[in-house]
């Protein structure tokens, strides 16, 4: 499944809201929304749920990938195994799962060799500039202090978005910059798009919502003005 652009990437993390069959319920709701959506909606389930959700008709990313070898690498989540499960890509270097730059570089390259999509998370524009050298498909700017806060980075610190976009463009114009951290409302999304973001990375703003379909549709609405 080819990844469309722009993208709304939903990180399920390990919230209890999606335990058991709830994860499949969310996936099926997203499948219905995607039928009439102008954007891509990508789901990032916890590792134990990847296999079952990968069988459904929607793009799925892993929450993390390990730069370990095939074979004797017990406990590792390796790109080759994800590829066999029909997982389309992976988050890399999320603020809750940080890895060194050299490992980011190798992970991006391994995903690329498997025709998988890389979405690398970054905390600052300087990190964006460094990560852009590795030529990932997407970079998400997420100041860690705003993650899960309900205080949208697009409102609290809009300059970090524009600075990150410029930092990426100065290195590789093909890298798409996504915005994350504290995004909750359609207004948060609209401001991010106005600033130049090509998509949104979100977690609790969707997963903790009382009605998943209503919240995702609300977040998708601002994209209609731009795409």
Residues carrying an active site annotation? 94, 142
CA 65/CA 75 separation, integer angstroms:
11
Is 36 buried (19+), middle (13-18) or exposed (0-12) by CB count in 10 A? exposed
**Residue 108: enclosing H or E segment and its boundaries?**
helix 101-113
Q: How far separated are the first and last CA of the chain, in Å rounded?
A: 20
Residues 6+ apart with CB under 8 A from 4: 39, 40
Residues paired with 117 in a beta bridge: 89
CA 106/CA 99 separation, integer angstroms:
11
DSSP state of 201: E
From edge to edge, which strands make up the β-sheet containing 40-44?
A: 40-44, 7-11, 199-202, 176-180, 138-141, 117-122, 89-92, 61-62
- Give the SS3 label for residue 141: strand
């Amino acid at each position: 499944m080819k990844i469309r652009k722009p993208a709304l990437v939903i990180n399920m993390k390990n919230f209890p809201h999606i335990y058991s069959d709830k994860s499949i319920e969310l996936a099926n709701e997203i499948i219905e929304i995607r039928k009439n959506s102008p954007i891509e909606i990508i789901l990032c389930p916890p590792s134990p749920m990847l296999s079952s959700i990968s069988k459904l008709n929607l793009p799925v990313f892993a929450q993390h990938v390990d730069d370990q070898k095939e074979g004797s690498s017990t406990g590792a989540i390796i790109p080759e195994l994800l590829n066999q499960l029909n997982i389309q890509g992976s988050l890399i270097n999320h603020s809750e799962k940080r890895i060194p730059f050299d490992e980011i570089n190798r992970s991006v390259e391994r995903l690329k060799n498997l025709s998988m999509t890389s979405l690398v998370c970054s905390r600052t524009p300087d990190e964006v500039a460094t990560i852009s050298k590795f030529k990932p498909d997407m970079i998400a700017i997420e100041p860690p202090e705003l993650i899960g806060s309900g205080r949208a980075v697009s409102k609290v610190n809009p300059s970090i978005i524009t600075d990150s976009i410029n930092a990426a463009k100065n290195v590789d114009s093909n890298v798409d910059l996504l915005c994350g951290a504290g995004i909750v409302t359609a207004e948060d999304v609209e401001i991010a798009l106005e600033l130049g973001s090509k998509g949104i990375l979100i977690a609790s703003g969707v997963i903790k919502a009382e009605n998943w379909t209503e919240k995702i549709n609300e977040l998708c609405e601002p994209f209609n003005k731009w795409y």
